[in-house]
Structure 1
Amino acid sequence: MTDRIPEAVLFDLDGTLADTAPDLIAALERLRLELGLPAIETGPLRECVGRGAVAVLEGGLPELGPADREAFRARFLDDYQARCWEASRPFDGMPDFLDDLESLNIPWGVVTNKLERFARPVMERAGWSGRMGCLVAGDTVTQPKPAPEPVLAACSALGVDPARAVFIGDDERDVIAGRAAGTRTVAALWGYIAEPDRVDAWGADAIAEAPGVLTALLELRCPRAAV
């Protein structure tokens, strides 16, 4: 992918760094139960997670109109915040990749459109809050992704020239934001992608099928990879 080792790596959160869909979907299922609504097929809701709570509620409460869904939004979010890391997990291979970055003293951070009140507890409960170099959330900046502002803010927080950073994400907005900020970009195929066959059109510098290929893709020469 590159002829130089990145000086920092940035990640989207939901669908890239961690599989957070199970806890969001569980909160939706509890809300449906509370409202006396029958169970629904939740598989398709995974693709809604990257687009936020409004999309999850729209997909998970099709019986209700927009005004009614909005009326239950705060209840849904409060429940999710309290239980945001019960079934959520890092994607397979991601812990090893983070270890590889840290073994090379490459800082990493998170750039997410998730509000900080939800993103920070996820990072804390995952055990990452003391390891990440920065967290730029959807309400940390005035213009979230696909605007470049959050990516630029993360690079500034890490003290890295955007041209020396890599941004990894599972949504086209991640690629747009990274390219506009001047970083190299990697599209994460393991995430919440509705149309995987369209990822080529995003214009990312590289496409990764799983976290386990990232160390080789970025040409990192770390002790673990050499074993």
Structure 2
Amino acid sequence: MDVNVKAVLFDLDGTLLDTAPDMANAANCVLADYGLSPLNERQIKANTSYGARGLLRAGFGNQIEGKDLDALRQSFLHYYANNICTTTQLYPGVVTLLDGLDAMGVPWGIVTNKPGFLTEMLLPYFPRLLSTGTLVCADTLSKAKPHPEPLLHAAMELGIDNQACLYIGDIEGDIIAANAANMISAVAAWGYIGSEHKPLEWDSDLVFNKPEEILSLF
């Protein structure tokens, strides 16, 4: 595909950072409070990018019926905030990618559905991410992904036309948001894509298997 990319916007969990072990640990703490078994690897991979609700729904299964999901989420957030970066790490190739973008003068930013207070707690552990040109979190605006507004806001902050922005993420909602924002959409195939997901059916413009491959666009 012939594209003219002038800026790159990234999802965070499952795209720049492998947060799955720490998020799964928080979910498992909530499950343990209810006497339930911990999440298995398949559940973790398939649901981490859907945040607290995705992980908890997977863990509780049918027992989620009748539960106060907001209260469960608050419990998850408590556990996660207290152990937000025990094993979280940058994906291999991310630093190479960001260094390459900076060397070429290509602006980049982060648009995530992670709550702002958690994102602000987590990013200082990864100084390379603190040079992001824009940071839009789940609660920065009144809308979150898959609504296009967060992506359009990020493009505006970077001063780049939305049609010249690439947005890359690892769940279908990211692709829906990018397409709705008239951006170039791409799947981060190295992220949390479960066996039941079908990323080739997500109507994305591009699929990348490694972060460094994005540099081929420039």
TM-score, shorter chain, exceeding 0.5 = yes
Look up the match of 1:31: 30
Alignment map for 1:209-224 (pairs within 5 Å): 209-216=209-216, 218=217, 220=218
Partner SS for 1:60: helix
Give the Cα–Cα distance (whole angstroms) in 2 for the partners of residues 197 and 60 of structure 1.
18
Select between 156-165 and 61-70 the one with higher mean Cα deviation.
61-70
Shift of 1:129: 4.8
1:223 corresponds to which residue?
none
Inter-partner Cα distance in structure 2 for 1:175 and 1:73: 25
Residues 57, 69 of structure 1: 8 Å contact kept: no
Q: What is the deviation of 1:208? A: 0.8
Q: Describe the shift of the 1:74–1:156 C-alpha distance in structure 2 as closer, same or farther (beyond 3 A).
A: same
Unaligned runs of 5+ in 2: none
**Residue 82 of structure 1: CA displacement?**
2.5
Alpha-carbon distance in structure 2 between the residues aligned to 1:30 and 1:180: 37
For 1:2, the equivalent position in structure 2 comes to 2
Gap change, CA 1:49 and 1:37, over 3 Å in 2: same
Counterparts in 2 of 1:101-116, with a 5 A limit? 101-116=101-116
Q: For residue 143 of structure 1, give the secondary structure of its aligned residue in structure 2.
A: coil
| 1:100 partnered with 2:123 | no
Q: Point out 4+ residue stretches in structure 1 off by more than 6 angstroms.
A: none
Per-residue deviation, 1:37 = 4.1
Which residue of structure 2 aligns with residue 91 of structure 1? 91
Matched-pair contact (CA < 8 Å) for 2:172–2:202: yes
How many pairs align?
217
Corresponding residue of 2:46: 47
* 1:112 and 1:138 in contact (8 A); partners too: yes
Q: Distance in 2 between matches of 1:37 and 1:147?
A: 34
Residue in structure 1 matched with residue 74 of structure 2 by the alignment: 74
Distance in 2 between residues matched to 1:55 and 1:197, nearest whole Å:
14
Q: 1:126-180 CA distances to partner (integer Å, 9 max, x unpaired)? A: 2245310111111112221121101100001111111111111111111121122
Letter paired with 1:189 = A
Q: TM-score, normalised by structure 1?
A: 0.86
Question: 1:109 touches 1:134 (CA, 8 Å); kept in 2?
Answer: yes
* Structure 1 residue matching 2:79: 3-state secondary structure: helix
Shift in alpha-carbon separation, 1:204–1:41, aligned structure 2, 3 A: closer
When normalised by structure 2's length, the TM-score is 0.89
Q: For the structure 1 residues 10 and 39, does the alpha-carbon distance in structure 2 shift closer, same or farther, using more than 3 Å as the test? A: closer
Q: Secondary structure at the match of 1:10?
A: strand
Question: What does 1:127-142 correspond to in 2, within 5 Å?
Answer: 127-142=127-142
